[in-house]
Each structure stands twice: as C-alpha cells, then as structure tokens.
Amino acid sequence: MTSASSSSTHADPAANSFQVDLRGLVDLLSHHLYSSPRVYVRELLQNAVDAVTARQALDPEAEIRIRLSASAGRVTIEDSGIGLTAAEAHSLLATIGRSSKRGGDHGLETTRREFLGQFGIGLLACFVVARQIRVITRSARDPQAAPVEWLATDDGSYTVRELPEDARREPGTTVILQARPGAEEWTVPAKVEQLARDYGSLLPYDITFTEGESDGEGSGGGEPRGITDRPAVWDRPFPTPAARRVALAGHCAQLFGFTPLDSIDLDLPVAGVRGVAYVLPEPTSPAHRAGHRVHLKGMLLTDHADNLLPDWAFFVRAVIDTDTLRPTASRENLYDDETLSAVREALGARVRAWLAELAASEPERLAAFLSVHHLGVKSLARHDAELLGLMLPWLPFETSEGSMSLQEFTAAHTEIHFTRTVEEFRQIAPIAAAHGLGVINAGYTYDADLLALLPTVRPDLKVTELDAGAVTERLDPVPTSAELTLAPFLSTARTRLEAQGCDVVLRAFQPVSVPALYLDDRQARQERDRTAALDSADSLWSGILGALRGSAPRARLVLNHNNPLIRRISALPDEALTGTAVESLYGQALLMSQRPLRPADSTLLNRAFLGLLEWATHSTDSQEGQK
C-alpha cells in the first residue's frame, strides 16, 4: 500500500498514513485469524452473496446467479452481482477493512444490514489455500466501464488492468483461485462441494456447483448440482405435526448424527432468530457444553457455538438462523454481548415453556424426556421455584421408600430428612424405612439445592439435613433394666472407641440382621477435623484451635440389641476379647457406610482382624492341648 502526507503549516507536524506490510497482513489473516483452511469456501460464497444482494438493490429485475466449480488445483466462483470498476478494484480489494457495501461509498445504506462481510478481507483470506487469486469483474453501476482484472499473489503484490470488452460481457465477478503447493486437498471437487453445502445450504440465492473447469461465463464442466436447500426444514409446511416431527428427526440425524428424543421450535421474530433445538436421546454430563449450529443470514457461522443457550440446557443441540447476532472477527463464533445475552435468555425461556407445555398436555412425552434428562430439568428448577412446583409430580428422587417424585414422597412425610452423600443414604435407608423416617438421597447433582428450595414451594414442609441424633431418637430404646445389665459392656465399648472420636449407644431396630450402625453427620466430621488439626498444630495454633472446641455431637456406633451377635458379644467374660469384638463391629459398620478410612481407622481394622485371628487360633490350640 502507498503512503501519503497531508499539507500543514510550519507549526503543525505532517500527518502520514500507516505503512502496512501487506504480505505480513495476508499471513496474519489467512494463517492466524481463521481456525481452518476450510473457511476460504465460506469467504468466496459470502462475497458472491453480498455482490448479488447489492445488484438487486440497484436493479431488482436483474437475473441473479452464483456458480461454483472446482478441479484439482483450481476453484472458480462466478456471480451476476454488482461488479467493480478499475478504481473500485484498487480501493476495495487492496484496502483492508473497506467494504463494498458501505452506503457512503455507493449509496447502499438501506441494504447494509443484508450484507455478510467485507470483500477485501474475505478475498485476502483465500490465500490460506491459494498462491494466486484472479478476479475478473465488470461493474453494473457503470455500464460504460471496461471489464477489469485484479491479479494478486501470496507475496503481497497485485496488479489491476482493464480488459477488452469481450473479456466479460455481463456485469458481475468471477474469482479464480490457484492452489498453493501443499493445499491441493482443499480444492478437490468433492471437498469443495461438501464445504459449500455445509456453509451455504440456507443462503437466500440459488447456488450451483459444477465439477471440472469453467470458463467463468457459466459454460464448461459437468452437470451443475444445487447447493442451497431452502426453506429451512423448520420453516417448511407439513401435512401433519407427526410428519413434521419425522422430517425434523431426519434433519437432526443428518446434521448431528443422532435421532432426537424430541424437538423444540426456537422462534424469536423480534430477535430475528428462527431454528430448532433437538433433545439428545441419551443422558449427558452437565459439565458438557454442546456445540450449537448458527447461521448468520443463511451462511453457516459456526457449528460449535457454546454460548447460544443457557448452561442448564445441556440436553439439547440447536441449529438457528439469525440476522441480529454479532460474529467475532474471524466470523467463526458469536460475540458475547448484550444482544446475545438477551437472545440466550429468550431461547432458554422457550425451552422452559416447552417443558411446561408437556407437563400440561402431554405427560407421557414429558415422562419419557425426564427418564433421560431429569438432571437438566433439576438444574433449571433450582433457580426457578415456579418450574420446581410445576415439575414436582414428575422429577424423580431416591428416597427411603424407593424412587419417586417429591409430590408422592411429601404426601406421606411433612418432615423430610436428607443425606448429603450417597454412601450415607444407602446405609441409613433400610433402617429409616423400617422406622418411618422419611429420608431423601441428596448426594446426586442438584438434589440438595432443590430440597433447600422446596419449602418456598411447599411452606408446610420441613426439610433438614439428617444427623446422628435424629436417627438415634427414632430407633426403639432398650428397657432400662437391660441397659443397666449391659453397662459394663457399654463402658468397655466406649473406652475402646474413644480414640476414634466415636460414641456407643444401644438401641433396638430393624432389620435384625444389622448388628451395628455407624452414624455420622457434618458437625461430627468438622469436630474430628478440628481435633486432627489440633494434634498436628504448634503451640500457638493449638491454643487457638483449643479455644474453638465446640460441643458438636460425635459420630455414633449404634448397637442393635435385637441382633443375636450383639447379645453374645455383650455376654463375653473376657474384657480384652470384648474390646476386640467391638472394634470389629466398628470396622464392619464403617465399611458398610462406604466412607473413606482415616489412617487411625485402618490401624484399628488391622488390629481387630489380627486380634480375632489370634483368639481363634489360640482357642484351637487350647482345644488340641486338652485332647
């Protein structure tokens, strides 16, 4: 590019244009701005579409055509668009950032919003695969202007020259790319056609593809094949809703590779958005951010937009066409601005309304959906009390009475207890069910949040985290006389487990087959952690932590007085053997709870196991000696 100075007085410094290394800028655009060489086909289509859009604004009766052809090492695209004069070719094709669509340049401000990109930048980006770009163009605005050839190479140089009148008889533009060494794979006809269909299937003009050479005037090559496929499947008329669902399912299978569980219309006329969201047929992780397919004015912008829908809508893949959302500089994703935020919220509301419609009129389809994606609905409901109330009859939870909805469970329990871990629930659920204690497993994703929100929907319910005291109180007490008789045994048991920070209590509970139950809660765990920190701290921190010692309840080993094994152990005359047996009961109950073992717990388990082995072998030796 050239530089120029402006005139000024002797008191003012001269103003100069920036000097631009065109070769370096071409390298930046073609090798660093775009993620893949495949975008060059999009840029060719985009320039052609913008050119014919400008031509229609100038002459609504003009014949519109866009023809793409390819042979090994060469790609050609020809349009009947607005064309360029020699001066415009100099200005628009060699000035980065200037658009042929600007109203100030050519009086097309009224149609500016219909254009997709900037001609100069898009054409230069084709150097990602091309060593040479040749443009033959004739202006529709100036019928007297001669055809023009603009020829550029990847070293950053270009030439512009006028051609004879017969070089191009009709207004429009032909762009011819010659592949650079090593990039021939991107100009193979099958590859070019596939990329053209991917990017341009929803463009507003008929586009054809021909395999083989083209002379730039529409002749030569093989039989032309259509690229565009309009209207979009979600905008087509169908005889019945069922027929439409079948067509959408086929579209999803072709586009995303799966048959959807259901489809959701995404129609936001005010925001200029039309499309559909397909419900995944299998569960997916909430952490997985699906890539959505976004077309901008018919041109594919990206197929991995992860900011189009709210995070909670991870159970759908969407495809939309929009004319309002703003692309990033590379035009390969959406710019996250206020407009996108508003559209994202509106699309989320559409998914939410679909759920409400199913709940109100199609419970079977809702049940089928929730059987797969209840996690996504729970994620949404934890921020939406109204939706939680709507979904109460449907959302499944694991409870002490089996899997059921909150509405079914709260019909029998107005006081709800919950555990924060799956392991704790699985240990306590059978005992809780036998004693009428209503417990919900909140160890799964989002369940604890939903239970915390439940009283706002149902003020008559009381929801509390399960603690050792609540369970112990529900278990049947042992008669005072029996507990007094077993006082020495309980004293030995408590002494043995003192080092583990565990208390021992005696209760009678079902099922009889469970000899002991290990009960823990968050307060007890915090107290043990504080004690462990106190043991390993220096004198300063020991004083501080010691001052923080609370009266939090300890973990409890609840011995089942109904269990025959407990009765036999309590009657053992050997105090040392009784202690070893109690440690074994503690270890077994701890393993049943599936909690992580502390080093002290592992040591106790080893000691109890070896102690029992020693006692068993010693008894055998004694019996052999008596013989």
**pLDDT one-digit tens code per residue, 409-459:** 988 888 888 988 887 788 788 788 777 888 999 988 889 999 988 898 889
The helix (H) or strand (E) run that includes residue 173 is strand 172-179
Which stretches within 287-401 are classed as H helix? Answer: 338-361, 363-381, 385-391
Evaluate if residue 17 carries a pLDDT over 50: no
Instruction: Please state, in angstroms and rounded to a whole number, the distance separating the CA atoms of residues 442 and 449.
Output: 9
- pTM for this model (two decimals): 0.70
SS3 at position 92 = helix
Evaluate if residue 403 carries a pLDDT over 70: yes
Question: How would you classify residue 257: left for phi > 0, otherwise alpha for psi between -120 and 50, otherwise beta?
Answer: left
Cβ neighbors of 57 (< 8 A, separation 6 or more) are 108, 110, 111, 114
Structure tokens at 277: 């969201």
More confident residue, 257 or 288: 257
Average pLDDT of span 159-170 = 84
Return the bridge partners of 16, or none. 5
What is the model's pLDDT at position 382? 85
Residue 79 and residue 48 in contact, taking contact as beta carbons nearer than 8 Å: yes
Which pLDDT tens digit goes with each residue over 67-83? 999 987 899 999 999 99
Cβ neighbors of 119 (< 8 A, separation 6 or more) are 47, 50, 51, 92, 93, 99, 100, 101
Confidence class for position 223, pLDDT limits 50, 70, 90:
confident
Burial 323-335 (b: 16+ CB within 10 A, else e): ebbebeeebbbbe
- Lowest-pLDDT range of 172-176, 344-348, 387-391: 387-391
Cβ neighbors of 606 (< 8 A, separation 6 or more) are none
- Lowest-pLDDT range of 24-33, 58-67, 201-210, 339-348: 24-33
**Percent of the chain topping pLDDT 90:** 38
SS3 content of the chain, % helix, strand, coil (to 5): 45, 20, 35
Average pLDDT of span 120-130 = 75
Evaluate if residue 585 carries a pLDDT over 50: yes
Burial of 60 (C-beta count, 10 Å sphere; 0-12/13-18/19+)? exposed
Instruction: Please state, in angstroms and rounded to a whole number, the distance separating the CA atoms of residues 355 and 313.
Output: 12
What is the model's pLDDT at position 626? 55
Q: How far from the centroid of its chain's Cα atoms is residue 86's Cα?
A: 49
What is the model's pLDDT at position 9? 45
Average pLDDT of span 614-627 = 65
Phi, psi of 514 (to 5 degrees): -90, 110
What is the model's pLDDT at position 14? 52
Evaluate if residue 490 carries a pLDDT over 80: yes
Return the bridge partners of 397, or none. 404
Confidence class for position 290, pLDDT limits 50, 70, 90:
confident
What is the model's pLDDT at position 202? 95
Average pLDDT of span 400-416 = 88
What is the model's pLDDT at position 384? 82
